Amino acid sequence: MPLNRDSPGYIVGFSAVVCLACAVPIATAAVMLRPKQALNQRVDRLSKVLGVAGLLKPGEALPASAIEARFEENVVAVAVDLRTGARVGPEVVDAKTFDQRRAAKDVATSIASPKHSARVLRVPHHAVIYEVMKDGQVEALILPIQGYGLWSTMYGYLALEQDGRTIAGITFYEHGETPGLGGEIENPAWQAKWKGRQAFGDDGEVKVRVVKGAAGPAEADPFRVDGLSGATITSRGVSHTLDFWLGPHGFGPFLTQYRAARAATGGP
């Protein structure tokens, strides 16, 4: 009996075979490449931390092994309890393997965030910060930050100098903002404008923000940063992000304790 290529059974069967033939190699490749993708993501995060800490120059290309070695030599990952601001040891959180974004999605390891313009839905009980070390002393703090812009949640890092107040740098490693507009949060020229700005006012409240138009130099205009041209909502999103994570529901309690400890030992 000749095969009827126009019959529903033949069409369905042929489609199923084609789909299976395509799906198997794609799924196999995805599984095989998953460890490499995870490694690439880790190395990218480490390079962003090194970059915002001034330990990796813009455009400097290093193999993954060199990036990991430089990170291990200069940076220490520290877990903190966001509810109290206290540091916690490896018996509570392994700072080297902790997945903060996953913890924020789990109701057992996070709390609902208060309503805020940064649109952070849940805050994990714990977070991992990075201490940049020099001669056995903390030279800078790197804080993970996230907040909503125009189209997406923006994930990045904020670097504070040794005093826990002065901004040393900012960077973003993941977002979906408009290229050439809000996407300019990745522009090194714009990121360089943050260095030397003050995160807090004399009253301890978060004061740094992105303004519409141009701000003055850091020495004369310490709390304001140039806005992104044509990206007002993204600019506001960055301001809201810092207001949240430097405030009482983010790293505010930790930074208060950090500065108090420094003052007790004679630091600025």
Q: Could you tell me what percentage of the chain is helix, strand and coil, using 3-state DSSP and rounding each to the nearest 5? A: 40, 25, 40
- pLDDT band at 39, cuts 50/70/90? low
Q: Which helix (H) or strand (E) element contains residue 22?
A: helix 8-52
Q: Give the pTM.
A: 0.86
Domains of the chain: which residue ranges? Answer: 62-264
The answer to whether the CB of 156 falls within 8 A of the CB of 146 is yes
Can you give the pLDDT at residue 260?
A: 95
* DSSP one-letter code for 114: P
How high is the mean pLDDT of the chain? 91
Q: How far apart are CA 213 and CA 230, in angstroms?
A: 10
Q: pLDDT tens digit string along 207-259?
A: 999 999 999 999 999 999 999 999 999 999 999 999 999 999 999 999 999 99
Can you give the pLDDT at residue 193?
A: 97
Q: pLDDT tens digit string along 118-174?
A: 999 999 999 999 999 999 999 999 999 999 999 999 999 999 999 999 999 999 999
- Quote the percentage of the chain above a pLDDT of 70: 88
Can you give the pLDDT at residue 6?
A: 65
Q: How far apart are CA 17 and CA 12, in angstroms?
A: 9
A 10 A CB-CB count for 113 gives: 16
SS3 108: coil
Mean per-residue pLDDT, 7-12: 68
Residue 267 above 80 pLDDT? no
The answer to whether the CB of 249 falls within 8 A of the CB of 77 is no
